[in-house]
Structure 1
Amino acid sequence: MTQTSQLADANSAALALLREAFTELRTARKLRHREAAAELGVSEGEALAAFVGEHVVRLGAQNADQFAALFEQMPLLGEVMVLTRNDAVVHEKTGTFGTMSRTGPVGLTVGPAIDLRIFYAKWASAFAVREVHDDGVRKSLQFFDAQGVAITKVYLRDASDHAAFDALVAQYAAPSQEAGLSVEAAQPRAPQRDDAQIDVAGFRAAWSAMNDTHEFFDVLRKFGVARLQALRLADKAYAEPIALDAIDALLNDAAGTQLPIMVFVGNPGMIQIHTGPVQTIRTMGPWLNVLDADFNLHLRTNLVAHAWVVRKPTSDGIVTSVELFDAAGENIAMLFGARKPGQPEREDWRAVVQRLARIERPESANEGVNA
């Protein structure tokens, strides 16, 4: 037997063991894909790819343009559920895709239900999944980054166009349906600059001179400031820390008044947005949940390490957000009052946020706040 054959046999055996262990965890402990993969020390993408040739089909997209061409077929599927998450928050929206567009590797779809900002340069693999459950076959399209971490998933509903799904899978199936997935190690985060290295006066002046919320990212880059660091260094009029559990009060307040809000959740490859009211708020252990017909949100409150109210000047006046961060300083969610460009911010949203600022905040909850 040649060395190549031995390696192939060893790889095949390893994949068989992975499939067996993954299935056992899913069955015996009712774990979700992500949880079962983590228990086995592999990424979710690696676990899913082990089933290529069974209930999983590898799709042939390999670069940003190809992923965009594939994802821009989503309107053909009709009503679907789109799931985007990070380690702390799961965001699920049900509806139909509207017009898809892109500029280079950055895509956009804006609609009454499905509202996405898409960063195709971060996409690395895609799969079609037909998984048997007690209630029938669950079909989905799942997209992963180079580390095998899920970027977004599109699940079919009863009302979806299942024939369009099948045709799409047949059209985009990769020539090779060999099981397995090679992943890359994550790049280390760039070190944060010391506060003393930041031109704080210049940074604050640039913040106060903004005319659009999107200019904030340019300001951060210009002054070399990390996002959470920027909030600490900002003028108190523009950023203030709040209690970590304020998000619970915010969602319940919004539900009680039917205040329409915007909820942004994302990862490096996708930002997903809900716009509208929320209704059913439930706490289950560490999870704070929105459980509405077309919008579900699941927030691991024990992973929220920092919470801030942030105010940005725009040509329409101040725009206020509530922003949540994990222990590493990564943004995990942002909430705004619902508004469209050209409209001033809602006064009832400002009133809700102002009430949050009065919730008692333990000083240990947000260290290093502005003096």
Structure 2
Amino acid sequence: MLRISAMILALALVSACGGGGSNPLQNTEEEETDTDTGTDTEDDADPIGGDRTLPPGTASPTPDTAIVRVEADDGEGAGVATGYDYDSATDTFYVDNLAFDGDNTYSRGTAVSSLAPNIAVYESDAPGIDPISGLQHDDAEYRAVYGVSDTGTTKFAIVRPAGYNDFGFRGYTYEREGSVTLPTDIQATYIGDYGGVRVYEGATGLDYVTGTARMSVDFNDFNQAPGVSLYVVDRHLYDINGNDVTTEYLDALMTANTQGVRPTNGLGQDNLPDINPVIRIDAADTNGEVTSEVFTLLELDNGSTTNLSSGNYYAIMAGDGASEIVGIVVMTGTDPRNSTSFEETGGFIVTR
């Protein structure tokens, strides 16, 4: 059993180590917010072929401007979080507009404080009070996952609840500060950390997910059919207390799929199934924004596959030569441990 150890340390520290090899975030700049909630049009984003749907945010992006995107409000709880803000002086995170999350201030996680060196976990300080009954909502816990690049140019935040019997009130945001200059004559490979959470419909609770994100972009053909791919490998699942439940999950998956091939890494160790991309001709635009579909599969012993989960990813390139990329993955599927639906939301920052 692996436990992600707690580190209650301010991000102003240059570095620190705790058990399990996790470190606090390296970047100490405060996160900026953007209140522009407009959406792209095809003219604004200048996509390379077909229609593309991006999350709401910067209304008229260009390669020379900062871009902020937020989760769309679906009228059922998704996308209601607003006012994301990080205070490096106190190592606290602030989120507004979520019911029963206390005073909107989130402190560094105790049982789980980090999912990767540059991806930290924060938890709501106190449960809220029901304004009608006056009772304290002890189970209405929230977790915020905040990632920032070493340069501070790209950031993401994900907020999800642990105490609802459905996906609950939630939100995410990802952003680029500054501009991007896209190469025209290279094929680039990016790598970085992936971290996020799973929430459930039909059960309370929350699990963390980790992994390694690998992204490739063929800038040689950018004016016609750019090749963009995103894979997330070496994936693990942890419960809200930091206990590794990957093997427990796979045991249930194999029980439900008796012809399945157990997912492992090259060393034979248990892993969640890899996240795979759908390659499409219009995935990227000249502003450096990318979106496409993703999915996970289970290989069967007869050579066929069965789909386990599916969804979308959204990303923004940043820097001179598109040196880094930030993005969000959102997938849904069914948890074999209890046959409940899950929503996995993970963030990644990759560099080349």
Whether TM-score is above 0.5 comes out as no
Normalising TM by the smaller chain, what interval? under 0.3
Which protein is bigger by CA-based radius of gyration?
A: 1
The TM-score normalised by the length of structure 2 is: 0.26
Higher helix residue share: 1
